[in-house]
Amino acid sequence: MNASVNYHVKKPFIQAFEFDVDGIDGNLVSPELFTTDVSVYDLRESQTNTVFNVHGITFLENLSPVAYPFTAEQEQVYNKEIQTLLSTHVSAKDVLVFDHTIRIDDESASRRPARNVHNDYSEKGIQQRLIDLVGEQKAAEYNEGHFGFVNIWRPVEDTIMSSPLGFICPDSMNDEDWMTIALKYPDRHGEILGVAANRQHRWFYKSKMQVDEAIIFNIYDNKGLPYLAHSALDMKEEGAPGNIVRKSIESRVLVKY
């Protein structure tokens, strides 16, 4: 399959995304991005299996669909489901779900699919987020053991027929491909890792993901499990209807192994 993605462009300074600029919900100022055509391998067409504790990613199926939008009670139920999934599939001993983001591929949506090639945190961003979540004392305890941050990504309402989530095979990346990108929100600052274009990158995804399927992928591990650069892919599946937009939910989770 062919798709296009938006790589970051390296600069001699730290670039930034600025969110809700001038108090306007969804108003985004973006750093420079470079649109590139890539070839994407479809895992659904192969017998390839990804194993989380080796590849940093695994694909799940036959799950209960996620209710949309959440009620407070439904969110509690879903958080418990996430705890069970991570205990079963990544051997997590302690799970803290701290964020759910609904993304809708529509110009009126406050959160659209992320179309920049990135990983969700830098090392500095991880340590600050860890302290924000559990406090300095517990953060020190986490760092003494084995912990990580993972993302659970799922379709909502309909099969994904456009703008699917794609990933770069970690072993096709170089250290020089990464760069720090600042995130500036009205109430806080953070950091992610942006990715520069490299012809060696091997992209993959799973086509036409359904509401009973999910992806668990690593975004940080303090013992060296690979994290995955990812982005929405600008592409449409064959036979994609024009009236169905991509809706997804991603949940960020702190895990202790």
What local confidence, expressed as pLDDT, does residue 144 receive? 97
How many other CB atoms sit within 10 Å of the CB of residue 190? 19
pLDDT at 49: 80
How far apart (Å, rounded) are the C-alpha atoms in residues 104 and 177? Answer: 29
3 state SS of 23: helix
Collapsed DSSP state (helix, strand, coil) of residue 174: coil
Residues paired with residue 232 on neighbouring β-strands, in sequence order: 165
- 193 forms beta bridges with 119, 180
Residue 103's nearest CA partner among 252, 228, 204, 3 is 252
Gap between the Cα atoms of 91 and 111, Å rounded? 31
Distance in Å from the first CA to the final CA of the chain? 36
Distance in angstroms (rounded) separating the CA atoms of residues 195 and 168: 10
Identify whether 69 is preceded by a cis peptide bond (ω within 30 of 0): yes
Distance, CA of 218 to CA of 200 (rounded, Å): 21
In order of 58, 167, 220, 226, the CA distances from 217 in angstroms are 6, 10, 9, 10
- CA dist., res. 148 & res. 92, Å (int): 9
Is residue 96 within 8 Å of residue 253, measured between CB atoms? yes
Give 3-state DSSP helix, strand, coil % of the chain, rounded to 5: 20, 35, 40
Element (H, E) at 103: strand 94-104
Which positions of the chain have pLDDT values less than 50?
A: none
Q: Are 152 and 82 in contact (CB under 8 A)?
A: yes
pLDDT of residue 243: 74
Give the per-residue pLDDT at 116.
Answer: 96
Tell me the C-alpha distance between 125 and 31, whole Å.
18
From its phi and psi, is residue 114 left (phi > 0), alpha (psi between -120 and 50) or beta?
A: beta
CA–CA separation, 53 and 88 (whole Å): 12
Q: Cβ atoms within 10 A of the Cβ of 149, count?
A: 23
What's the pLDDT at 211?
96
Residue 36 confidence (pLDDT): 98
